[in-house]
Amino acid sequence: MSDPRSPDDDDAPADGATRLVLFLPEDASPARLDKALAVLCEPHSISRSRLRALIEGGAVFSLPGETPLTDPSMTVRGGARFAVRVPPPVEAVPQPEAIPLTVVHEDDHLIVVDKPAGMVVHPAPGAWTGTLVNALLAHCGDTLSGIGGERRPGIVHRIDKDTSGLLVVAKSDVAHRGLSEQFAAHTIERLYTALVWGTPSHADARLAGLPATSFEPGWIRIETTIGRSRTDRKKMAAGVRDGRHAVTRVSVRESLGAASVVECRLETGRTHQIRVHLAHVGHPLVGDQTYGRARVPPRSLTEEARAAITAFPRQALHAATLGFEHPVTAETMRWTSALPGDIADLRTWFHDGVGTST
């Protein structure tokens, strides 16, 4: 049961926000706060992801008392009452910007680009301009698919701001639907190249003893749930209860002593999946300030090499291969992207930086 007006608050918020008052039936089973509110908010067309953002932003309160509820995973029970403050829609239509793009394929239905590190995929708070969407609007004009919504037209998947590499964008609604279905079915081929600390090995007893890992010919399989960290809501974490199932396969391509070049094959596509999984098994990405913790290069490397490795400004991760069935022509398509210069240089510092150090 719900009522968009609170019985004890006759005036709507002055800033135009909508106040919803929601009631859980007395016989309702215990449930997560975000799940319970999602059911109650169905008549108001508010998604669960939007509700999570409202909860974490301090816009959900328990009644009576107006106590803020900021944990989407907290358990709520029958009879509970809530107030949800829904801000008015913000007109934030991205504008075309003449930003150079590396286009590796384009047709009437889709475009594949090689995104540089440092570029945000779609506008968001703190990055309303200079994004891939802004660049695509200038490049493609009005041909981008509208299914993704105003703020991210054509976007069917994304890679992190500081991850470089291949990404496909839909230009027609039929392509958007077809690509989204392939992503949901996990049939898209996505291979990433990364530099990680240490060398994951089938012979490592520690790695073999982890519940998350298993060994396949040539690959180490990492399987966990991934969800929002309980201690830092800006981070993701492995093994979170109620998290989403995630599988990453890792294969070592080159050992560099203190680090190694690995190939990562995604079976699923969760937020920060590769970064979280490799950190979880003790081999975080070189340069990953969020999940890698401070790693000190070994003194077997020269001072120059250690300084260059320490100063590397991003996670060493590159979306190197992308393959799928064209959603309109059914043609099998596959592209590869060479390792960008900064990661190639980083590899060289590990490979050639061995020397006498004082």
Model confidence pLDDT, tens digit, residues 215-247:
999 999 999 999 988 888 789 999 998 899 999
Asked if 61 and 74 touch (Cβ cutoff 8 Å), the reply is no
- Mean pLDDT score, 100-129: 91
Buried-state track 37-51, b at ≥16 Cβ within 10 A, e below 16: bbebbeeeebeeeeb
DSSP E strand boundaries for the chain: 2-3, 18-23, 31-32, 60-63, 67-68, 75-76, 81-86, 103-106, 110-115, 164-170, 189-197, 213-216, 219-228, 236-238, 244-255, 259-266, 317-325, 332-336
What the block records as the tokens of 260 is 């190694």
Least confident of 90-94, 285-289, 308-312: 90-94
Q: Distance between CA 263 and CA 342 in Å, rounded?
A: 17
pTM of the model: 0.74
Q: For Cα atoms 237, 241, 245, give the angle at the middle one, nearest 5 degrees.
A: 70
Higher pLDDT: 37 or 124? It is 37
In percent, the amount of the chain with pLDDT more than 70 equals 90
Residue 47 confidence (pLDDT) above 90: no
Q: How confident is the model at residue 150 (pLDDT cuts 50, 70, 90)?
A: low
- How much is the CA Rg of the chain, to the nearest whole Å? 23
Buried-state track 299-333, b at ≥16 Cβ within 10 A, e below 16: eebbeebbebbeebebbbbbbbbbbbebbeeeeeb
**What is the predicted pLDDT for the residue at 4?**
35
**What is the predicted pLDDT for the residue at 80?**
92
Q: Distance between CA 168 and CA 157 in Å, rounded?
A: 8
Question: What is each CA distance from 255 to 5, 23, 39, 78, 305, in whole angstroms?
Answer: 63, 58, 50, 56, 17
- Mean pLDDT score, 174-203: 94
**What is the predicted pLDDT for the residue at 354?**
67
**What is the predicted pLDDT for the residue at 216?**
96
Active-site choice (34, 114, 160, 288): 160
- Residue 101 has phi, psi (to 5 degrees) of -125, 145
**What is the predicted pLDDT for the residue at 6?**
33
- Mean pLDDT score, 286-292: 94
Least confident of 4-13, 14-23, 270-279: 4-13
Q: How confident is the model at residue 275 (pLDDT cuts 50, 70, 90)?
A: very high
Contacts of 331 (CB under 8 A, 6+ apart): 325
Q: 3-state class of 208 per DSSP?
A: helix
Residue 253 confidence (pLDDT) above 80: yes
**What is the predicted pLDDT for the residue at 325?**
97
160 tagged catalytic:
yes
Residue 5 confidence (pLDDT) above 60: no
Q: How confident is the model at residue 195 (pLDDT cuts 50, 70, 90)?
A: very high
Q: Distance between CA 127 and CA 162 in Å, rounded?
A: 13
In percent, the amount of the chain with pLDDT more than 90 equals 61
Residue 3 confidence (pLDDT) above 50: no
Higher pLDDT: 2 or 24? It is 24
Q: How confident is the model at residue 12 (pLDDT cuts 50, 70, 90)?
A: very low
Tally: H helices and E strands in the chain: 8, 18
User: Where do we find the tokens 């930086």?
Assistant: 353
**Which has the closest alpha carbon to 21: 11, 9, 32?**
9
What the block records as the tokens of 34 is 């975000």
Q: Distance between CA 18 and CA 136 in Å, rounded?
A: 34
What the block records as the tokens of 314 is 């991003």
Least confident of 48-57, 154-163, 173-182, 276-285: 48-57
Residue 308 confidence (pLDDT) above 70: yes
